[in-house]
Chain A
């Protein structure tokens, strides 16, 4: 081994410093939100809280627990996420398994048929009119059917079926009298758990975080997902303050302080599921992106 030159060591050090700065820049806003959510809101808006919590309190979280709409939103989001992800996953497997089979005539044409939609589509208005004509407006279906499957994920899964599962295994099963669907159920799916975990993660995070379909298709507040209420509390709330100049508000009115506390706490609450699962899932989702990348 040759000893690294001075220049190389300097370059290495510079890289470490830049990465450390990038790390801090990404981490700081996240930690700030966490600390702000448990700090006295007065200290936060006056700028006295900059990293660690000041006068710890749970007032924001308590207010959220008593906010009926947030609870409704949370419940709806869980419902939409579970149903939506189940549909996504089924559709992805239904498409990926046949397309992964060499003896499935027509798979080239079908793949092209699906892939074309990644680059061209009817756009917002024709899709909206279609959903309206199908009487899906203001129903759960408007949130889970128009985006029932992602072509990109079909391709990832198809690639996994082709490369991650020994071809001989499927052939042996077929010789032993296993039908296609039986092979899928007994051999392919049990061996595909890592990729299924990735798919569940990608799809469910997508549903959990989406607001656009709900914005255009829902008008009944009882059906709103969490993100729409978040939009009202976080984005619209801030916007109104800014547009009104907010001169009157600076930190006296109890109601305003409560509103502030809610804002910080709700960001944490809204991301709680992923926050809790994140450390365990990390190795899976990296794998998922890699499979997609390697194929290209």
Chain B
């Protein structure tokens, strides 16, 4: 979702500025709007310090960072840290888990809000519609800690309601949280439970913008409800879908730290260890700053390249893109 509008801004901004009298208008604006420049200065300063300076700090990925020598003074060692990461025992596992969780989430988590929105859009009874929306948006506001806590309580092998039901139905109690093969499914479906409703808002907004005349004409032509959803609603919100898909694909290596870390334990680690948790473990806990910065950099570069690639592909295919 983030960047949906931002991309448009990035595109229109610089182009609009490209005029011959650019310098002149800048001087005029500086004189007339000096207070606006003053206003935005702290924000720019914040971005320089907290976003661009860390990018400069990324050079420690190619250095042997020694705290007393600082970022600049530490000796260069080239690609050694990357080499060590690629050769490490964990590399394959980390990539497999990171991609596995992401793609699973993309397949299930991406379609759930879309389907939900298409269905909510068909509901004519206002009260029911409002009820569905109110309830499905609510879990979005729970913190990750509370969500994971709830998941663990529900799935607890001794006292969780899920296992009570399993046993009641004649099955065996399953220790869901410590079985590696369950990890990704729990991660993805608890995410759907929490975010599908919230994610549907954006599609509902797009659906509300579809011309009702199209539906009326289609009804007169005898189109069934499902046909109208398929041939009018879906194409109508396709640009929104594509933009969100680009953003999601561009983040395919970016499985967030917060939830995975909370759900992780020593028994499920073989399927829960992802790049983000590895960076935390090696960097923050293990103080191997250079090495984990290298791992993090590898991750962001892959994401960034993917985003640009997918965006270019989407632009060629159907003229929808972030910029």
Q: What is the interface of chain A, defined by CB distance below 8 A to chain B? A: 2, 4-5, 7-8, 11-12, 15-16, 18-19, 22-23, 25-27, 29-30, 32-33, 44-47, 50, 91, 94-95, 97-99, 101, 103-130, 145-146, 148-152, 154-156, 158-159, 179-181, 205, 208-212, 216, 227, 230-231, 233-235, 238-239, 241-243, 246, 249-251, 260, 263-264, 267, 270-271, 274, 278-279, 282, 285-286, 289-290, 292-296
Contacts and interface: CB of A to CB of B under 8 A. Distances in A.
B202 interface: yes
A241 B202 CA distance: 40
A115 B7 contact: yes
A18 B120 CA distance: 10
A181 B35 contact: yes
Contacts of B219: 2
A195 B107 CA distance: 33
Contact of A110 (B44, B257, B303): B44
29 contacts: A15-B123, A26-B138, A29-B154, A32-B154, A33-B150, A47-B165, A101-B36, A105-B26, A115-B3, A118-B3, A120-B300, A124-B283, A128-B284, A149-B43, A152-B1, A154-B43, A211-B144, A238-B156, A243-B267, A270-B143, A271-B142, A271-B146, A286-B201, A292-B1, A294-B209, A296-B4, A296-B8, A296-B240, A296-B243
Given A125-B279, A152-B6, A271-B142, A109 B224 contact: no
Contacts of A293: 4-5, 201-202, 205-206, 240
A241 B156 contact: yes
A224 to B, nearest CB: 12
Contacts of A33: 150
Interface residues of B, number: 121
Given A19-B119, A22-B136, A294 B205 contact: yes
A120 B262 contact: no
Contact of B297 (A106, A123, A278): A123
A241 B201 CA distance: 39
Interface of B: 1-10, 12-17, 22, 25-26, 28-30, 32-33, 35-37, 39-40, 42-44, 46-47, 49-58, 60, 71, 116, 119-120, 122-123, 128, 131-139, 141-146, 148-150, 152-154, 156-159, 161, 164-165, 168, 175, 177-178, 193, 197-198, 201-202, 205-206, 209, 219-220, 224-226, 240, 243, 250, 257-258, 262, 265-267, 276, 279-280, 283-284, 289, 292-293, 296-297, 299-300, 303-304, 307
Contact of B265 (A109, A159, A242): A242
Of the listed residues B32, B141, B293, the one surrounded by the most CB atoms of chain A closer than 10 A to its CB is B141
A108 B46 contact: no
A209 to B, nearest CB: 3
A210 to B, nearest CB: 8
A163 to B, nearest CB: 11
A242 B178 contact: yes
A27 B135 contact: yes
Contacts of A50: 161
B283 A104 contact: no
Given A235-B262, A289-B202, A151 B2 contact: yes
Contacts of B33: 98, 101, 103-105, 180
B145 A230 contact: yes
B181 to A, nearest CB: 16
B293 A125 contact: yes
Contacts of A154: 43
A21 to B, nearest CB: 11
A44 B52 CA distance: 51
A interface majority secondary structure: helix
A151 B6 contact: yes
B36 A227 contact: no
Given A122-B58, A270-B143, A293-B5, 10 more contacts: A26-B139, A26-B197, A32-B154, A115-B6, A150-B2, A159-B5, A227-B143, A230-B145, A250-B159, A289-B202
